[in-house]
Homo-oligomer: A and B are copies of this chain.
């Protein structure tokens, strides 16, 4: 690889790493002050355990070999991923770079789920859930779509059929979003929900998190070109425009429906736009990202209200934003994909002279992912529930998860704090 390409992918990897603390603050700010540290730790836990699991086995399962359904063990423990420093101009280190960059995605994917299970999940259950979910859900789904691309060429069965997922709309957002739904159905509602309100305890933290997420998402999407080239540039532009359009439209929906243009609405819309452009970032062009972001902003603004009707307590709207937003973005590739613009070989979308074929493939890939992820996630949680339980006690929920799960308090600003025991 060229130094310029290496530089871009390394920076992108660092940006994606930074997204997880950003997500932690985004979610943590929305949470109540007595649960914010639990929320931060659910996210940081992903930063601790996933890299280890990833290099031991995850990367190998998700990407190695030339199967249709799952990788082999060739790259476990980072074996066979050589570099030679002097060979940087060639392909030296390319696989290690891939293991790094894709490892960052593996970190943030389960972290997304934490927003749904907020305020009531046992931390020990979460600690077990994350690595299990990576190995049993995330790795297979990744392989179905991307398997083989780091070897001799695409062999994953969904990828081979022709479905497209540039930076992880199906693999990451739809996948984590539907897993979140399974999790909240099994966990049950928080005490008092939905009667009792849970306004965000710190909107500035939410907006800071939003800023970090947007910033990092350029690495997420444009870095997925795995080179500093025209595709990266266009993916960057798409990310920029979809986020703006998503935030704008969600804000306007709230302005019309509820009377005000709110910070939380805009933050949610920006994230919805980013989620939706993720699968198509390297496949669409021109004004398309605006339509994709706007569609996500519009639909997700309504989708987050569903939970009150349907009665599932998706605390911070992971289903409404990531599942719905990811699905929208993934399906819209079927309309907007523009191979000509990129000078690349993938099917064109309906509106760019293609047939219905791509849309069908997008539909299939998501349907398969939804069914698989929902079922396996539920099985994992049922197993953990049987073994150690997944929900904190009523008293622990009342006193807050920060104290009960982590023996810590988020803020000690006043004069009446605590003495050493």
Query: How far, in whole Å, are A384 and B51 apart by their CA atoms in the complex?
Result: 46
A99 contacts B195, C-beta separation under 8 Å: no
Is the C-beta of A152 less than 8 angstroms from some C-beta in chain B? no
Is the C-beta of A49 less than 8 angstroms from some C-beta in chain B? yes
Residues on the B chain within 8 Å of A51, using CB: 240-241, 244
Give the size category of A's interface with B.
35 or more
Residues on the B chain within 8 Å of A413, using CB: 33, 201-202, 411
Q: Which has the most chain B C-beta neighbours within 10 Å: A48, A78, A96, A194?
A: A48
| Number of copies of this protein chain within its complex | 3
A229 contacts B88, C-beta separation under 8 Å: yes
One of B79, B97, B420 near A196 (C-beta < 8 A): B420
Which among A112-120, A176-184, A338-346 touches the partner chain?
A: A338-346
B342 contacts A85, C-beta separation under 8 Å: yes
Residues on the B chain within 8 Å of A215, using CB: 14, 17-18, 21
One of B22, B33, B49, B87 near A230 (C-beta < 8 A): B87
Is the C-beta of A266 less than 8 angstroms from some C-beta in chain B? yes
B3 contacts A44, C-beta separation under 8 Å: no
Query: How far, in whole Å, are A411 and B208 apart by their CA atoms in the complex?
Result: 14
Chain A stretch 284-330: residues in CB contact (< 8 A) with chain B: 286-287, 290
A408 contacts B3, C-beta separation under 8 Å: no
A229 contacts B406, C-beta separation under 8 Å: no
Chain A interface helix/strand/loop/mixed? helix
Query: How far, in whole Å, are A123 and B260 apart by their CA atoms in the complex?
Result: 10
Known: A49-B248, A287-B77, A420-B195. A207 touches B40 (CB 8 A): yes
Residues on the B chain within 8 Å of A21, using CB: 207-208, 210-212, 214-215
Query: How far, in whole Å, are A79 and B197 apart by their CA atoms in the complex?
Result: 48
Known: A196-B420, A407-B258. A214 touches B17 (CB 8 A): yes
Chain A stretch 211-268: residues in CB contact (< 8 A) with chain B: 211-212, 214-215, 218-219, 222, 227-234, 236-237, 240-241, 243-245, 247-248, 251, 258-264, 266-267
Residues on the B chain within 8 Å of A10, using CB: 8, 218, 222, 228, 232-233, 236
Is the C-beta of A100 less than 8 angstroms from some C-beta in chain B? yes
Is the C-beta of A2 less than 8 angstroms from some C-beta in chain B? yes
Q: Residue of B at shortest CB range from A17?
A: B215
A266 contacts B44, C-beta separation under 8 Å: yes
CB distance from A121 to the nearest CB of B (A): 14
Q: Residue of B at shortest CB range from A47?
A: B244
Query: How far, in whole Å, are A36 and B206 apart by their CA atoms in the complex?
Result: 13
Is the C-beta of A5 less than 8 angstroms from some C-beta in chain B? yes
Is the C-beta of A127 less than 8 angstroms from some C-beta in chain B? yes
A228 contacts B100, C-beta separation under 8 Å: no
Q: Residue of B at shortest CB range from A104?
A: B240
Residues on the B chain within 8 Å of A368, using CB: none
Q: Which has the most chain B C-beta neighbours within 10 Å: A49, A194, A420?
A: A420
Not counting A14-B219, A100-B240, a sample of 10 additional A-B residue pairs whose C-beta atoms are within 8 angstroms of each other reads A2-B4, A7-B11, A10-B222, A47-B244, A48-B247, A78-B287, A84-B342, A85-B343, A85-B344, A194-B420
Spell out A's residues near B (CB within 8 Å): 2-8, 10-11, 13-15, 17-18, 20-22, 24-25, 28, 32-33, 36-37, 40-41, 44-45, 47-52, 55, 77-79, 82-89, 92-93, 96-97, 99-100, 103, 123, 127, 194-197, 199-205, 207-208, 210-212, 214-215, 218-219, 222, 227-234, 236-237, 240-241, 243-245, 247-248, 251, 258-264, 266-267, 270, 286-287, 290, 341-344, 405-413, 417-420
> What are 19 A-B pairs with beta-carbon distances under 8 A?
A3-B8, A3-B228, A6-B228, A6-B232, A8-B11, A11-B11, A14-B215, A18-B212, A21-B208, A32-B412, A55-B287, A85-B343, A92-B229, A93-B230, A96-B233, A97-B233, A196-B420, A200-B412, A203-B408
